[in-house]
Amino acid sequence: MDADTVKEKIQGLSGFSMIRLYGVDCSQVENVFAAITDSQKLFLGIYDIDQTESALDTIASAAATYGWDRIDTIAVGNELVNSGTKSVDEVVTAIATARSYLASTSYAGSIVTVDTFVAVMEHPELCENSDYAAVNCHPFFDGGVFAYGAGPFVAAQIGFVAASCSGKNVFVTETGWPHSGNSNGDATPSTDNQKIALDSLVSVVADDIMLFTAYDDLWKADGEYDVEKYWGIY
């Protein structure tokens, strides 16, 4: 996706205060930096923690042009423990690497790792080594949550995570509802149910969540319920 296309897409998200990226490849960091408004901030991600310093080089290069103060959070990995891709110790080491690197810059934002709320509760070291507990929480995958119950479900999990993380602040870095695919118990994907779920989430936990995702991810595999591509709000 070229810079002009990125700018067009980001302009459609002008009502959101923060934009999350998951990696640094394909010039995405500099292109999104250039496209956001002065009132928006970035939640940046290091996808491959084996390349943490290289990813931070890319982030630092863009920040030198656009300003470190435009970055709210840098996430070191996404759901790596939940997926079994990395161990807790490997993630904690990567966080330490990022802290050491960023200490020599003007960065004053947060450093976290993101994982599922279940993984973080099972491995509180993930939040202990993060500036806040950053978790992905999708009511759809519970199987016992109707769309209208999405907000209360996420609110409950925020409480459980906070208790597991000694009262540390919790921010849900992914939550939403698919608009297409197959049902998972009480959870049924549809355009109407997506709106119902998003309304519930915004009504109950608006200040504590980041909605997933702006646009469909058609490059993804279908997944167990054929929903992985279809979380796009627009």
Partner residues linked to 133 by β-bridges: 170
> Which of these is catalytic: 90, 174, 224, 228?
174
Long-range CB contact pairs, 11-18, < 8 A, 24+:
11/35, 12/214, 12/234, 13/214, 14/40, 16/40, 16/211, 17/41, 18/42, 18/43, 18/72, 18/210
Question: What is the rounded average pLDDT of the residues 137-154?
Answer: 98
| Confidence (pLDDT) at 70 | 98
* Largest distance between two CA atoms of the chain: 50
Across the chain, what does the average pLDDT equal?
Answer: 97
Q: Where are the beta strands (DSSP E) in the chain?
A: 18-20, 41-46, 71-78, 110-116, 133-136, 170-175, 209-211
pTM, two decimals, is: 0.97
pLDDT in tens, 70-121: 999 999 999 999 999 999 999 999 999 999 999 999 999 999 999 999 999 9
| Confidence (pLDDT) at 140 | 98
Task: Please indicate whether residue 122 is annotated as part of the active site.
Answer: no
Residue 130's contacts (CB-CB under 8 Å, 6 or more residues apart) are 95, 110, 111, 112, 113, 168
Distance from chain centroid for Cα 197: 18
pLDDT in tens, 147-185: 999 999 999 999 999 999 999 999 999 999 999 999 999
Structural domain boundaries in the chain: 1-114, 137-234
| Confidence (pLDDT) at 1 | 80
Percent of the chain with pLDDT over 90: 99
